[in-house]
């Protein structure tokens, strides 16, 4: 009898920990591959589950971002942890956004949903599956970098913020977010003061933290300097090889890009998703 009680207690404890890890912290402690698997399972329901916040995406994300990037007229934008492409979708709904977006996520399932939503804008959006930092781009590549509803789910936040700064051009704009204390994720929530310090440590200025919806704040910051626009570029013109580190040296081969130095192959599937 005692043995069965012990087993029951252990099972309940494991289920409790799994519940906290999966539903409260979205798998941040179990590694990128298992986390990607969890997001794959969630992908088809994600937009329905996030509907409360996504109804404000144009008003609270797209329009304010466009006000910050009135020049250049065709910005080059990197969206880290794009999920189902909510920010690209909101931006593409605005006639005055003429830029090109590179959207990356660890989950192929999420990117498949993004590909469906953004199919009519395929010529201006590149989707990429990539699991971990550092980002596979050279320094000062993008005019705008975004990372929405994801920074709190990255373990080493200072390194993550420094990576976002590294690939942003001087004068460029960062759009990110802060999970609030009301989110119930106490272990991953960072205060507005701490986030501001992380951004300043990474070289950002003009940090603006604004209430967005109950469990998130919207955050803008700027990399000091005068922006010289990146111009319209393709993935092969921007990518730094994840294997050898060689930058901007990829050639197009059948349904793929290939590093001309080490031979690393970046496959591109029928949905247009590049697997890095």
DSSP H helix total and E strand total for the chain: 10, 11
| Residue 5: pLDDT over 90 | no
Residue 8 phi/psi, 5° resolution?
-65, -40
DSSP state of 77: E
pLDDT tens digits, one per residue of 228-252? 999 999 999 999 999 999 998 999 9
What span, in angstroms and rounded, lies between the C-alpha atoms of 211 and 31? 30
* Most confident of the ranges 73-77, 84-88, 183-187: 84-88
Sign of torsion over alpha carbons 248, 73, 84, 53: positive
Would you call 14 helix, strand, or coil by DSSP? helix
Task: Name the residue ranges covered by the structural domains of the chain.
Answer: 52-231, 234-276
Tokens standing for 190? Answer: 């960072």
pLDDT recorded at residue 46: 87
Please tell me whether the peptide bond between 24 and the residue prior to it is cis, using omega within 30 degrees of 0.
no
Q: Note the pTM of the prediction, 2 decimals.
A: 0.88
Residue 102 phi/psi, 5° resolution?
-110, 115
| Residue 77: pLDDT over 50 | yes
The sheet with strand 265-268 has its strands ordered as 205-213, 216-222, 168-179, 142-147, 76-80, 100-105, 125-129, 273-275, 265-268, 256-259, 250-253
Tokens standing for 257? Answer: 């890009």
Residue 110 phi/psi, 5° resolution?
-65, -45
**What mean pLDDT comes out for the span 143-160?**
90
For 21, residues 6+ apart whose C-beta sits below 8 A from its C-beta are 27, 28, 29, 30
pLDDT recorded at residue 214: 82
DSSP state of 226: -
pLDDT tens digits, one per residue of 162-185? 999 999 999 999 999 998 887 666
Which CATH number, 3.40.50.150, 3.40.50.1100, 3.65.10.10, 3.30.750.24, labels domain 52-231? 3.40.50.150
pLDDT tens digits, one per residue of 58-69? 999 999 999 998
What span, in angstroms and rounded, lies between the C-alpha atoms of 176 and 148? 5
């Amino acid at each position: 009898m005692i043995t069965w009680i012990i087993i029951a207690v252990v099972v309940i404890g494991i289920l409790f920990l799994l519940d906290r890890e999966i539903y409260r912290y979205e798998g941040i402690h179990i590694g990128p591959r298992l986390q990607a698997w969890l997001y794959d399972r969630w992908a088809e329901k994600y937009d329905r589950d996030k509907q409360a916040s996504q109804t404000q995406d144009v008003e609270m994300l797209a329009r304010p971002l466009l006000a910050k990037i009135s020049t250049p007229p065709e910005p080059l934008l990197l969206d880290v942890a794009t999920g189902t492409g909510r920010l690209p979708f909101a931006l593409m709904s605005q006639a005055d956004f003429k830029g090109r977006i590179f959207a990356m996520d660890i989950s192929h399932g999420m990117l498949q949903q993004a590909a469906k939503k953004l199919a009519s804008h395929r010529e201006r959006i590149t989707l990429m599956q990539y699991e971990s930092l550092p980002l596979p781009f050279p320094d000062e590549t993008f005019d705008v970098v975004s990372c929405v509803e994801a920074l709190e789910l990255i373990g080493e936040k200072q390194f993550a913020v420094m990576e976002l700064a590294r690939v942003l051009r001087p004068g460029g704009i960062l759009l990110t977010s802060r999970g609030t204390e009301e989110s119930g994720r106490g272990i991953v929530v960072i205060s507005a003061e701490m986030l501001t310090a992380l951004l300043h440590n990474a070289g950002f200025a003009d940090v603006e933290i604004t209430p967005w919806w109950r469990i998130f704040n919207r955050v803008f910051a700027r990399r000091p300097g005068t922006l010289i626009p990146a111009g319209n570029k393709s993935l092969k013109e921007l990518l730094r090889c994840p294997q050898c580190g060689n930058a901007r040296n990829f050639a197009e081969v059948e349904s793929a890009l290939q590093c001309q130095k080490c031979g690393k192959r970046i496959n591109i599937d029928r949905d247009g998703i590049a697997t890095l």
